[in-house]
Amino acid sequence: MNKRRLGLLTGTHAVNDLYQGLVPALLPFMVLERGYSYTAVAGLMLAATGLSSVVQPLFGLYADRHPRSWLVPTGFMVAALGVVLAGLSHSYLLTWIAMVLCGLGIAAYHPPATVAARAAGGASQKAMSVFSVGGTIGASFAPVLAATVVSGGSLSRSYLLGVPALAMGVVWMAANAGSGAACAATAAAARKAGAEVLKPHNDWRAFSLLVATIIGWSIPYVTVLSMLSLRITRDLHGTAFQGAAALTSFTAAGAVGTLLGGWLGDRIGRMGTIRAGYLLALPSLAGLVLAPDAGWALACTALLGMCMFLPFAAQVTLAQDYLPRNPATASGITLGLALSVGGLVSPLFGMLSDAHGLGVTLMTVLCVLCVATVLALRLRNRSMQAMPAEVEGAAA
């Protein structure tokens, strides 16, 4: 494990996902200052997140065919530029275009950065979990940063939101200074040595099963995240504080579960971790569905957040091993397109809630999670054979 490289990439992930979190954090201030309607806000959110999820696999294809280390800093710098321009633009059209720019930057960052983090972490699942939690930490600071910089009708100060990206860009350049010639030499050596090694084939059938499993995970996750507070305050007659505490505990438990999943993956194997996560998430979600009061729901929420994220890091590395010839594409599809399905179908569950109540909706997503669990139990591990020493040294 290259801890120094992994730490640098984790820092870039925190900065990149900070800007991903700033998109929804800035929208309320735009409504107050510019008078945007809910439809206009939804359009901005779609521009930033929907397009990003769709094009992320395309950036993965590009990163597989033309590996470029500059995609990592370019990604979070472009995302920062989009956020800054969205805050400074007075025209809705320009704001929408700026949100698209932000989404493209976020999409460009994730595939190459995830592959680089896997390389820096070696065979460790814990390394991938640390890299993943870096993004969670960055996103968690977004509301605080937005409120600090632009509160009180001060969207004109949005240029200050670009400071974290500029600082991380300087750190990235300093960390990689003087490595251009060395990288070119090692890349040439890797190509020469790799020409003598037959790459394992892509297992698209197994990868498709994994994508279906992740989609089955995404739908319950997004639905619970969207309706958890309403479930506690309206159905279980909890306080507004308890509703907010549930959301916080769900997110925080997810970060803990990601780290715990990486630790377990190194000890019991990633397949055991994936299966344990899904199997333990079922009774946790059932407990939330059947909770008699807000206190019980809070306890089940924390357990659910931890269990749902136990498989996260293991699923990323498994996807890359299913597609060893296209690891960036695998990352783009699993982290982008598959995870976004939950958001795309969320309006349908909103309509179901309006018609039949939140209890019926949560029972429905529990059934979806059951299907995902069955699919997860059918997944099989795939370990890549170790490369010859000269190839491994060149790739390092």
Question: pLDDT (tens digit, 9 = 90+) per residue, 49-66?
Answer: 777 777 888 888 888 887
Provide the sign of the torsion angle of the four alpha carbons 49, 53, 55, 56, taken in this order. positive
What is the predicted pLDDT for the residue at 390? Answer: 36
Per the CB < 8 A criterion, the answer to whether 291 and 300 are in contact is: yes
Reported as a single tens digit per residue, the pLDDT across 210-234 is 999 999 998 898 888 778 877 888 8
pLDDT bucket at 185, cuts 50 / 70 / 90 = very low
Domains, the chain, with CATH or none: 3-177 (1.20.1250.20), 204-378 (1.20.1250.20)
Span 337-350, average pLDDT: 75
Q: Considering the entire predicted model, what is its pTM?
A: 0.77
pLDDT, position 25: 83
pLDDT at 191: 46
Evaluate whether 265 touches 273 at the Cβ level (below 8 Å).
yes
- What does the pLDDT look like over 11-28, one tens digit per residue? 999 999 899 888 888 888
If you average pLDDT over every residue of the chain, what do you get? Answer: 83
Q: Is the pLDDT of residue 336 over 60?
A: yes
54: CB partners within 8 A, 6+ apart: 336, 337, 340
Contact at 8 Å (CB) between 338 and 60?
no
CA-closest candidate to residue 341, choices 217, 181, 205, 257: 217
- Which stretch, 68-72, 195-199, 206-210, 254-258, has highest mean pLDDT? 206-210
- Lowest-pLDDT range, 184-188, 297-301, 370-374? 184-188
Do the beta carbons of residue 112 and residue 58 sit within 8 Å? Answer: no
